[in-house]
Chains A and B, each alone.
Chain A
């Protein structure tokens, strides 16, 4: 059964710093991996989706990588801003028809 872990649970950084959020998964036979952002009291917003055949995806200041052999994905945020403060969750899909398995998220605070 797929399990997804995110460490650390919380992270605080000064504005302008580049940072990396970590996600690990136990079953390397994944279909895709998604990164989401959640603001307090809100739903999840999809940030990036990496297909199993891809190594990375980029959107603006965000870059997500995928290493299936080591069971790891990272989300790199460049030049962090206070508006980046949120909880970031990763989720793995083992097929196109099975539910996503979520990590518990990393709560990021960017301090001005």
Chain B
């Protein structure tokens, strides 16, 4: 079955530590997205990528970094510069361009501070 796999499901970060969240898709989608979800805030876009080796900042990119070396993979690093990282992180993918196809989501990673 095609889909998006996020790992780990739960992640704990110590002060001053960088952590990386994994996102892999086998849907052959060009576009991939990272969102942060906080209670009562809805989904906020962190970074997105429309094609391999290219990505753009979303609304809340500060303290985060990404890479897109392969079409299937779009890892998100939460750096020590992100002072309030506790949240639910969601990865998504979508066919690019003129195709009216739905966006798909992974099951999320919940990040907490130790």
- How far is B101's CA from A99's CA once the two chains are assembled, in angstroms? 13
Bound form: Cα–Cα A96–B101 in Å: 9
In the bound complex, CA of A99 to CA of B48 (Å):
8
Which residue on chain B has the smallest CB distance to residue A43? B105
Q: Is the CB of A102 within 8 A of B106?
A: no
Q: Please name all residues of chain A whose beta carbon is closer than 8 Å to the beta carbon of B50 when the two chains form the complex.
A: 97
Determine how close the nearest CB of chain A comes to the CB of B39; give it in whole angstroms. Answer: 10
Q: Check if A49 is an interface residue, CB within 8 A of chain B.
A: yes
A112 to chain B, nearest CB (A): 26
Cβ proximity bits B83-114 to A, threshold 8 Å, 1 near / 0 not:
00000101010101111111111111010000
Q: Which of A46, A89, A96 contacts B99 (CB 8 A)?
A: A96
For B, the interface residue count at a CB cutoff of 8 angstroms equals: 30
Q: How many A-B contacts at CB < 8 Å in the complex?
A: 53
- Evaluate contact between B107 and A42: CB separation under 8 angstroms: yes
Seen from chain B, the residues whose Cβ lies within 8 Å of a Cβ on chain A are 4, 6, 31, 33, 40-43, 45, 48, 50, 58, 88, 90, 92, 94, 96-108, 110
CB distance from B86 to the nearest CB of A (A): 15
CA distance A96 to B102 in the complex (A): 11
